[in-house]
Structure 1
Amino acid sequence: MSSSGASTSRSLLRTEAEQRAALLAVHSYDLALDLAGGDDPGTATFGSRTVVRFASAGGSTFLDLKPAELLSATLDGAPLDPASLREGRLPLETSAGDHEVVVEARMPYRNDGEGLHRSVDPADGRAYLYGMSFMDAAPTVLACFDQPDLKAPYRLRVRAPREWVVVGNGRATRTGDDGDVALWELAETQPLSTYFVTLVAGPYHLVSDQHDGIALGLSSRASLAGALEAEAEELFTLTRQSFDELHRLFGIRYAFGDYHQAFVPDFNAGAMENPGCVTFRDQMLFPDRVTRAARVNRASTVAHEMAHQWFGNLVTPRWWDDLWLNESFAEYLGWRVIADATVYDDAWAQRSQARRQWGLHADQRPSTHPVAGNGATDAVAALQDFDGISYAKGSTVLKQLASRIGDEAFLGGVVDHLTRHRFGNATMADLVASWEGAGAGDLSGFTGSWLRTAGLDTLRVERPSNGSGGTSVRRLGPRECGDPGDEAVREHTVVVAVAEEHGWTTSTVEVAADLTDLPDVPPGAAVVLDAAEDTWAASCADAATVAALRGVLPRTSDPMLRTAAWNNVRSGFHAAQLDPAAVVDLVVAAPYLADLGDTGTHVDAWTTGTLLPLAPAGSTRRVHDAVLGVLEAAEGDDRLRVVRGAVRTAEDPDLLRRWLSPDGLPAGVDLDTDLRWRLLGRLAEIGASDRDELDRTLAADPSTTATIAHTLAVASLPDMEAKAWAWQRLTAEADVPNHEVQAAGHGLWRPGQQALTAPYVERYVADLPATASVRSGWLLALAAEAFFPRTHLDDASAKLLHGLLEHPDVPPPVRRRVVDNLDDLDRQRAVARAFGVEVTA
């Protein structure tokens, strides 16, 4: 197995999981890890000894195991042949009754954010470890029966360098020393699925507290200790408030002992809900200044992982086709909790801006799937469904259901479900039965239309061609829009906002037919459909609305209405219904970066990455000037947001150079590490910096944040040497951590550099299939997405990229990312065709 974690193992099929679950009951795991050499720069492996006690009905089965070296294995004391290990599976022949298997192995340290990830902090050269056992990764840490419905309690013993601290699922106690090695024992856990098993070990900085009898902890790398201390009170406050609200909602206490939140390097996801020891990507510690939007998103992540302690941890889906029982619930409850119980009471507007388009796009792609019963044939396939459908769509549907049946039935069913299946596994049918038993009535129609049916409806404004009255809402099923998905009869209750001279008027409209009249809409007025975003549909603005919004949106203060208006515009653009030039006019007329509702945080990235490449010449300068035009009136977070937006659209290197001087920035904005690298990255992209300057800046501040930003900036340079340097990170010729791989991909493809990057379209098609031999899991798919040639909209490039789908050696995770990104590319090409935009070959 390489350092990136690639192997010849195969993923567990659902049918195999069912057979093994019928055969086995797992009693316990005892795990001993020897990490004593973990601070040695040359360390590649660690010692792992697993004792698994289980009962069998009698028959053949297998243990999941992906070691660097298998040293020995025994079943009931009898040796097993190490050579029998094939494709990550160690065969076991069992009789009826209780058994014990013991496995000793050398396991690989990984640098892709999975298994036992080892990261060396460039700031101080110290090594930090954390475990991520999710989706096929646990067998690179311990021998196990790796499926969600074979739960068992765990005990863990650890040997580690004396200066390290250790935390994990159970409370860790330092029991003694052995020379330069410290000995640790972790308390036995409640029954856990294998994918929850974690360990965080290294010279981490710890902060402790307690609340309501629960010991609370936070940890980070030593180089981030200052940020952790500064953020600790807010993080602890969010944790206390979330515990109180979740306890109030469920009446069921948190069941997993201590609650530690570890901020760790190179993390692929936002966070992972390991019971007792949640891991977060440490970019959420904010050593530099951030906007309120970033804090809202972090708060929702904190509450999301806490909600998982009930949905996912206390009761776990039997198989990954019920992934929504984890993620949709945690998404819905996370945003609900912070909106209702913390200072972030505008969270629903932020959630709509941050998550809605992600989910809508996913539900219109060829890879769309139902929220529930998504047909996950194996764990690898299931990993691809951790997408906007499982999160954004599923949570919206749950919000709809809670509104429809009321909290008494909704929460009553949830509590019954959690109580019946405590520490066990369950299915969608189990939860629906609990809801119906709590008074929800027959839910078969609702679950069939919203949870078991893929695809979405589209809602469009329809006006008479003569400009007179009679405006309507047109409801279109997925096939009527040329989208994948299954037809279903879905009724929508939406708020419709209409802009009039004195302001906005709103009304609630039942959309139960293909055409629904909207009364009293003045000719040419802006119409925002689903203005409260209460339903799941792609609500599309028409050209008249975009034109009217130029005068209305700047004086609209309601953050939810502003968010919905922008989402209507973005959905209309995504459907090739809106002229890019007209949308740019809206952006210029209503500078989004002055939006107190944080709309601009996400519209900004969409504008520069999707809209401007299709806009008329000079549009980038127009947007830049409009952004700078609101700087004088901007205050607080808005000043930082304006400067960031101006950097993204700057074409004048003199302005960027002036802002690189601490005295040259606008008042109220500091030149911290984040802003410095934003400025340098933009200078690199427009050819106004060079590799030497970027290298010198990194050498002066070699933090992880700076290292990733340096990778992005170098890859953005408009020269062949930089592009070749970036490409080495896709092919793993340069073996770097996961976030640097992604940064290189994002920097490689820059608008306006198509002539330089054109050869890499063909190289992407040629080289991508082989990446499965050098990496696996999350990073295999993430690299395929990061390096996708998103700037090449010409016919020849599109033909090459579509041909990649016919390649027999493209693994399913890579194919899924290619399919999704091709859909985005094809939709941009459709906009270009519809409005006569010439694309660069």
Structure 2
Amino acid sequence: MAGNLTRDEAAQRSRLLTVHSYTVELDLTTGADTFRSTTVVRFDCTQPGASTFAEIAEATCHEIDLNGTPLAADPHGRIPLPGLAAHNTLRVVADVAYSTTGQGLHRFTDPVDDRVYLHSQFATADAQRMFACFDQPDLKSRYEFTVTAPADWEVVSNSSPVTVETADGARRWQFAPTPVLSTYLTAVVAGPYHVVADEYRGTVDGEEVVIPMRALCRQSLAPHFDAEEILDVTRRGLDFFQAAFGMAYPFGKYDQAFVPEFNLGAMENPGCVTFTETYVFRSRVTDAEHERRASTVLHEMSHMWFGDLVTMSWWDDLWLNESFATYAAALAQSSATRWADAWATFADAAKARACRQDQLSTTHPIAADIVDIRSMEVNFDAITYQKGASVLKQLVATIGTDTFLAALRRYFVRHAWGVATLADLLAALTEQTGRDMTDWSAQWLETTGPNTLRAEFTLDESGAFSSFAVVQGADPQHPTLRSHRIAIGLYDEKAGELVRRHRVELDVAGPRTEVPELLGQARGDLVLVNDDDLTYAKVRLDEASLHTVLTGIGRIGDPLAQAVCWGIAWDMLRDGELPPARYAQLVLAGVNTVASAAIRRNLLDQAVAATRHYLPAGRREAGLTALAAGLLDLAGTAAPGSHEQLAYVRAFASGAASPEQLAVLEGLLSGTANLPGLVVDTDLRWSLLRRLVTTGRGTQQQIDAELRRDPTDKGRSQAAACAAAIPTPEAKTAAWHAFVAGEQPLGTLGSALAGFHAPEHAQLTEGWAQAYFDVLTNVADTWPSERTQTFAKGAYPPAQARADLPALTEQYLAEAQPPAWLARLVREGRDEVVRARHILAG
């Protein structure tokens, strides 16, 4: 297993070393289990005679040579390097294991045609699973890769190949030296990939810029690959970011590979971006999926400057990468693509995820304290991404977009090809704005928990405001009151639509901020605090405004204002202030007025989840039946074959409950029933079957038959989820044993666990609650971290399980004393159970 580098170890090594170059040769023709890796590292030491270490993991080392002296690796994958000279050369020859967990160089065999595909994934510290290195972000260097691969393979890396030679049935790819990069940003993708090539042409500062660009996927997905849209978004993103950052794309070429069994949504390897191939749509999808993919493309592209050109010194500042990229993607998407309402999607979905994470007992500051690699692996969360982006959006609302981008240009020029810290970014912002950013950082980046904002006012006899204030509150456990830049909108109903009549923008601070600008204004039908979604905060409406939203959210014409109100309603549900059935009714009444496909999908998912998870067992079937009836009505009235129709049918398929509704699912699956224009394709068939299985109306024989129709890796994942969802003790036992024996591939484990823990099966699975804690006690130090994390999150029992679940959790934490990263995941499971039970009790 790869080691767990600490921050102190990294800092000490960084003080000692300057790394000049890596020469890495990989032979991918040596068999199905391992590949040959030969690495030569050239580096200097500031204290000759000192000692340090390099890393190589999951490897059998045949040769380790430091300046002519043979060495050996230790059992933990570290290579001790004693007695360093001023100038050093380390050479390591090893057979390294291919990964099946997505960490390192991952190997996948396509079940459709038996073709083999490889891709690397090195964040946070898994480059050592492919070549010997100093695996930390601040020891940047140049890399020269040479790869020997089967003759029919395509090989892609960060730079372009300079020679490709064929010999003995194989091809040898030699790549140009890269610019200076961190180890975690290097990449190799290899296999018989389908390639679509194009180029970008643009102008930056009057100079023509030409960038070769390609999109890749495996051969069996090529018929479904809409590379033209992906490359169009890429072209628009390059136009936008080069203009916004005042700097040409710095890495020469732009390849984007959609790879199988990828653990993340995407990874920003410069010149060789990797994506989950779920973004290759093999079945018809709604525009929400297209919008999400475009957002991911733009997110990774922004990293080329913020993260790749300028890299964080250590993982404490991961937010400098991810918060920025999340913000920048929405900015680019709203400015340069057809998804002009991207900020509305952000307000509805991203803010909800941030607020959920920020209210857990494990919440942490955006600028987190990361003491080692394992601590970082669980910090790829909604605080690092969505809350951080929300806070940046609030900062931009305060200082202005042009000023913010000008500060970024300072930052890029000053730190190009190097590393930087939060202090460096704050310095650039301070210089550009003329204001000290220390207090802003202390308030927003170094504290936890959301504030709550609400309007408090009185009216005169005419219905106009005689007093108006914004009141700010905070959770007693996170009592910080912050300065917020907000807008307040006053909305009136006109011709059946709620239209903003008046808007004020102001700063609020402390527990109470008077708003004299609103005195004398008529109250209207809706008083919306945080109109335009400028700040990150929870919002509560006054009683009359809440009534307006609950009875007419669909009449709010502005997409962003409507999204803010949808977010308020969801947050109230999560806080036990809005009954789940009432929330479902709100969605049914207003979802057909939502312009954004992404928001529509999110609302439908939330309505089904609220009904399945937050209604007591005795009321759940009736609640689902009512919701599904409304969804089927919406599907029937939507335009035949439209994205809206597909979205409603998908939601119906996940919530159908009554015998009549399940019969509709059976008819759609068998072809004996239909909706005009609806195509029941592969992915929809699995959705229909999974609900039938979950409710006891589908069988293992049907699952097997469907898998024969779809013998792909995605089909295997869907089949595993369906098998785990069979509501019998025998099926649950078989699924559990597959989980704990490691028989369930990592790529299917999460979906299978979701099938196992369907809320309808709480009584069936309550006996596995203690087994969950027993497994964690036994595997925390032996399973790969990705599998442990997936199991810890996905196998945590649902709220409907044993009444003593919180107590069992505390007992496990006290007795097992798990590492902090694992304890955090378990505590988050407990927190969600406590919250769900509060809602259930309402």
Given the two structures, how large is their TM-score scaled by the length of structure 2?
0.92
2:498 is the alignment partner of 1:489: no
Does the C-alpha gap of structure 1 residues 525 and 770 become closer, same or farther in structure 2, counting only changes over 3 Å? farther
2:400 is the alignment partner of 1:406: yes
Matched AA of 2:589: A
Does the C-alpha gap of structure 1 residues 462 and 794 become closer, same or farther in structure 2, counting only changes over 3 Å? farther
Query: What is the match of residue 207 of structure 2?
Result: none
Aligned mates of 2:276, 2:378 — CA distance in 1: 20
Aligned mates of 2:26, 2:520 — CA distance in 1: 71
Does the C-alpha gap of structure 1 residues 180 and 407 become closer, same or farther in structure 2, counting only changes over 3 Å? same
Query: What is the match of residue 278 of structure 1?
Result: 273
Query: What is the match of residue 652 of structure 2?
Result: 646
Q: How far off its partner does 1:758 sit?
A: 0.6
Would you say the 8 A contact 2:762–2:801 is kept in 1?
no
Query: What is the match of residue 205 of structure 2?
Result: none
Of 745, 751, 757, which aligns to 2:765? 757
Matched AA of 1:743: S
Aligned pairs (5 A) from 1:690-729:
690-729=699-738
Of 775, 789, 794, which aligns to 2:783? 775
Does the C-alpha gap of structure 1 residues 522 and 790 become closer, same or farther in structure 2, counting only changes over 3 Å? farther
Aligned pairs (5 A) from 1:458-537:
458-460=452-454, 475-480=471-476, 484-485=477-478, 487-496=480-489, 498=491, 500=493, 503-505=498-500, 507-508=503-504, 510=506, 511-515=508-512, 527-537=527-537
Does the C-alpha gap of structure 1 residues 279 and 668 become closer, same or farther in structure 2, counting only changes over 3 Å? same
1:664 aligned counterpart, secondary structure: coil
Does the C-alpha gap of structure 1 residues 124 and 46 become closer, same or farther in structure 2, counting only changes over 3 Å? same
Aligned mates of 1:661, 1:425 — CA distance in 2: 58
Does the C-alpha gap of structure 1 residues 684 and 526 become closer, same or farther in structure 2, counting only changes over 3 Å? farther
Matched AA of 1:631: A
Given the two structures, how large is their TM-score scaled by the length of structure 1?
0.92
1:660 aligned counterpart, secondary structure: helix
Would you say the 8 A contact 2:763–2:801 is kept in 1?
no
Query: What is the match of residue 138 of structure 2?
Result: 149
The count of aligned residue pairs is: 814
2:340 aligned counterpart, secondary structure: coil
1:788 aligned counterpart, secondary structure: coil
Of 632, 635, 643, which aligns to 2:636? 632
2:249 is the alignment partner of 1:249: no
Structure showing greater relative contact order (alpha-carbon pairs closer than 8 Å, 6 or more residues apart): 1
Moved more, 670-679 or 409-418: 409-418
2:558 is the alignment partner of 1:558: yes
Query: What is the match of residue 420 of structure 2?
Result: 426
Q: Alpha-carbon deviations, 1:660-717, whole Å to 9, x = none?
A: 1446331222111110100011111101111111012102221122221111111111
Of 234, 242, 250, which aligns to 1:239? 234
Aligned mates of 1:52, 1:410 — CA distance in 2: 39
Query: What is the match of residue 262 of structure 1?
Result: 257
Matched AA of 1:165: E
Q: Sequence identity of aligned pairs in percent?
A: 33
Does the C-alpha gap of structure 1 residues 200 and 267 become closer, same or farther in structure 2, counting only changes over 3 Å? same
Q: How far off its partner does 1:208 sit?
A: 0.6
Would you say the 8 A contact 2:390–2:536 is kept in 1?
yes
Aligned mates of 2:305, 2:388 — CA distance in 1: 17
Would you say the 8 A contact 2:490–2:525 is kept in 1?
no
Q: How far off its partner does 1:202 sit?
A: 0.8
Would you say the 8 A contact 1:588–1:622 is kept in 2?
no
1:312 aligned counterpart, secondary structure: coil
2:56 is the alignment partner of 1:62: no
2:654 is the alignment partner of 1:660: no
Moved more, 785-794 or 415-424: 785-794
Aligned mates of 2:89, 2:364 — CA distance in 1: 41
Aligned mates of 2:610, 2:77 — CA distance in 1: 42
Matched AA of 1:156: F
Query: What is the match of residue 317 of structure 1?
Result: 312
Does the C-alpha gap of structure 1 residues 97 and 184 become closer, same or farther in structure 2, counting only changes over 3 Å? same
Q: How far off its partner does 1:218 sit?
A: 0.9
Q: How far off its partner does 1:593 sit?
A: 8.6
Q: How far off its partner does 1:773 sit?
A: 4.0
Q: How far off its partner does 1:162 sit?
A: 1.5
Moved more, 573-582 or 429-438: 573-582
Does the C-alpha gap of structure 1 residues 809 and 776 become closer, same or farther in structure 2, counting only changes over 3 Å? farther
Query: What is the match of residue 170 of structure 1?
Result: 159
Q: Report the RMSD for the aligned CA atoms in angstroms.
A: 2.5
Of 216, 221, 236, which aligns to 2:218? 221
Does the C-alpha gap of structure 1 residues 593 and 725 become closer, same or farther in structure 2, counting only changes over 3 Å? farther
Moved more, 48-57 or 445-454: 445-454
Q: How far off its partner does 1:491 sit?
A: 2.9
Unaligned runs of 5+ in 2: 202-209
Q: How far off its partner does 1:288 sit?
A: 1.2
Aligned mates of 1:115, 1:668 — CA distance in 2: 44
Q: Alpha-carbon deviations, 1:613-666, whole Å to 9, x = none?
A: 333451111111111222233232111111111111112321001111446331
Matched AA of 1:535: T
Q: How far off its partner does 1:736 sit?
A: 3.7
Unaligned runs of 5+ in 1: 1-6, 836-841
Q: How far off its partner does 1:504 sit?
A: 3.9
Aligned mates of 2:745, 2:192 — CA distance in 1: 20
2:690 is the alignment partner of 1:681: yes
Q: Alpha-carbon deviations, 1:158-207, whole Å to 9, x = none?
A: 12112111001111355322322221111110011010111101111111
Q: How far off its partner does 1:486 sit?
A: 5.2
Query: What is the match of residue 3 of structure 2?
Result: 10
Matched AA of 2:627: V
Aligned mates of 1:279, 1:561 — CA distance in 2: 35
Matched AA of 2:143: Y
Would you say the 8 A contact 2:310–2:419 is kept in 1?
yes
Moved more, 653-662 or 312-321: 653-662
Aligned mates of 1:150, 1:782 — CA distance in 2: 30
2:391 is the alignment partner of 1:397: yes
Does the C-alpha gap of structure 1 residues 416 and 200 become closer, same or farther in structure 2, counting only changes over 3 Å? same
Matched AA of 1:317: M
Aligned mates of 1:562, 1:491 — CA distance in 2: 21
Does the C-alpha gap of structure 1 residues 106 and 378 become closer, same or farther in structure 2, counting only changes over 3 Å? same
Q: How far off its partner does 1:26 sit?
A: 0.4
Q: How far off its partner does 1:594 sit?
A: 6.5
1:323 aligned counterpart, secondary structure: helix
Aligned mates of 2:107, 2:147 — CA distance in 1: 16
Aligned pairs (5 A) from 1:448-459:
448-459=442-453
Would you say the 8 A contact 2:217–2:258 is kept in 1?
yes
Query: What is the match of residue 766 of structure 1?
Result: 774
Of 432, 435, 446, which aligns to 2:429? 435
Aligned mates of 1:734, 1:11 — CA distance in 2: 22
Matched AA of 1:13: T
Aligned pairs (5 A) from 1:347-358:
347-358=342-353
Would you say the 8 A contact 2:587–2:604 is kept in 1?
no
Aligned pairs (5 A) from 1:563-582:
563-582=563-582
Q: How far off its partner does 1:11 sit?
A: 1.1
Would you say the 8 A contact 1:132–1:198 is kept in 2?
yes
Aligned mates of 1:354, 1:260 — CA distance in 2: 29
Q: How far off its partner does 1:826 sit?
A: 1.2
Aligned mates of 1:27, 1:692 — CA distance in 2: 59
Aligned mates of 2:662, 2:165 — CA distance in 1: 59
Moved more, 579-588 or 103-112: 579-588
Query: What is the match of residue 3 of structure 1?
Result: none
Would you say the 8 A contact 1:780–1:813 is kept in 2?
no
Q: How far off its partner does 1:335 sit?
A: 1.1
Aligned mates of 1:489, 1:551 — CA distance in 2: 32
Aligned mates of 2:520, 2:565 — CA distance in 1: 19
Aligned mates of 1:792, 1:376 — CA distance in 2: 34
Query: What is the match of residue 812 of structure 1?
Result: 820
Moved more, 342-351 or 196-205: 342-351
Aligned mates of 2:629, 2:705 — CA distance in 1: 31
2:330 is the alignment partner of 1:343: no
